Amino acid sequence: MFFRGYLVKKLTEGNVPSLITKFCVNRKMRRERCRECSRICGENALSFSKNELPILDKDRCNGCHLCVDVCPSRAFMSGTMKYIRLYQKALTKSPLVIGCIDNGDNVNLKFPCVYSISSEFLISLLLGYRGKEISFYLGDCEDCSNNKSYELYQKRLQKAKDFVSEIKELPEIKEIHEYEENPLEEEPISRRDLFKMFSNETTKSTKDIADELLNRNKPSPLPDDRKLLIEILKHNEVRFNENMPLPFKFWELNENCNGCAMCSNVCPHKAWDKKIDKENDKIEIRHFPWLCFGCGICERYCPRNAIKESTYDGKTFSENIYFVKKLLTKSRCPRCKRKFVQTEEMGEMCPTCEKKEKNKKV
């Protein structure tokens, strides 16, 4: 037991997650503080500075990567889980047996921890895998300090299944807790069978998507699992509907929006954007859902309560590069001659002149 623990420690050494504090929601939030990463960590490897930013103790960290997907703003980036390469490998396995690095020959796709697999990767896997069966080996999980995250893993997997079942028939998915014999001792898959797994009516297979992503030189701020899912959704021309538990957050702006761009200022990943058309005196507020990780900080910090969660029914990613949420026209204040965005409840004057007028009457 000691040797196995030592071996696992060596395997995870140097593969602890990278912490990018500029993405942490605590940099912006003042009313409430996020503690999701420290709550899920079974090794007490996370503490917080005076500025409420997380500090990762690499000596305590066991490399499980549970903090990566649970972080609402993806301030933790995985060093071990190269999702695109793992996806490529998964497509060549039949049966596919997923487990952690401590499971030895019982599994053929290994992660630092089974419970750390992101919901976005699970969706990509269920959409792209052509085999008949996917198994999750949990034989050693009960004795692991990460086992408290079992329910979180179940919720992620169920969310992925609910989403994909609206698009295609699911492969058989099961949990395995012990083996009487090794299920991987089968005849190796032939080239013909492998071709059948990848073949479909479209011009580009799901394996080609992963190859293309790896060969791109253009840098991207997105983590691998998000990039992979976006490409697969585009490739399959997945059309969203209101019954799907969507992997992305969609937001709407109501009539209270005045174009202040607070949403853009507080968003860690710049999923909100403000574009000013000076020639036509218009302000365009845009939202890029693939940059949004659903932390909700924009909704909480909007000074006018103008942001509400919504759906994107009947559309695909290939139809829109971004989604225009608000198009505002500027008016000119009759008193100070400055331009401002006039909302329904406002008068003809800008807020500053309006306030001065009220003070005079008092």
Last residue of a domain, one of 235, 270, 297: 235
Same domain, 59 and 102: no
Buried b or exposed e, range 143-152, using 16+ CB within 10 angstroms: ebebeebeeb
Same domain, 50 and 102: no
Same domain, 12 and 49: yes
User: Does some domain include residue 242?
Assistant: no
Same domain, 295 and 330: yes
Distance CA 230, CA 217 (A): 17
User: Does some domain include residue 123?
Assistant: yes
Buried b or exposed e, range 195-209, using 16+ CB within 10 angstroms: eebeeeeeeebbbeb
Total domains, the chain: 3
User: Does some domain include residue 241?
Assistant: no
Give me the pLDDT at residue 185, please. 53
- For position 58, which CATH number holds? 3.30.70.20
Same domain, 105 and 48: no
In a structure prediction context, what are the per-residue pLDDT tens digits for the chain, which is 362 residues long? 444 444 444 444 447 888 888 899 998 776 678 999 999 998 899 999 988 899 999 889 988 899 998 999 899 987 666 899 999 999 988 889 999 888 777 888 999 899 999 999 999 999 999 888 999 999 888 888 888 999 999 999 999 999 999 889 999 999 998 764 555 555 444 545 544 544 444 335 666 777 777 776 566 678 889 989 988 988 888 888 777 777 778 888 888 888 888 999 999 888 998 888 877 778 888 888 888 998 999 998 899 899 988 877 677 766 655 667 677 777 888 888 887 777 766 778 888 888 888 887 76
Give me the pLDDT at residue 42, please. 87
* Nearby residues of 250 by Cβ (< 8 Å), 6 or more positions away: 287, 289, 309, 310, 311, 312, 323
Same domain, 189 and 295: no
Same domain, 156 and 215: yes
User: Does some domain include residue 188?
Assistant: yes
User: Does some domain include residue 49?
Assistant: yes
pTM: 0.79
Same domain, 43 and 24: yes
Same domain, 146 and 217: yes
Give me the pLDDT at residue 201, please. 41
Last residue of a domain, one of 77, 104, 123: 77
Give me the pLDDT at residue 321, please. 57
Give me the pLDDT at residue 161, please. 94
User: Does some domain include residue 277?
Assistant: yes
User: Does some domain include residue 194?
Assistant: yes
Encode pLDDT of 269-289 as tens digits.
889 988 888 777 788 888 888
Give me the pLDDT at residue 274, please. 87
Same domain, 87 and 231: yes
Same domain, 88 and 200: yes
Encode pLDDT of 34-78 as tens digits.
999 999 998 899 999 988 899 999 889 988 899 998 999 899 987
Same domain, 168 and 216: yes
Distance CA 164, CA 129 (A): 12
User: Does some domain include residue 244?
Assistant: no
Domain hosting 66: range is: 2-77
Last residue of a domain, one of 24, 49, 77: 77
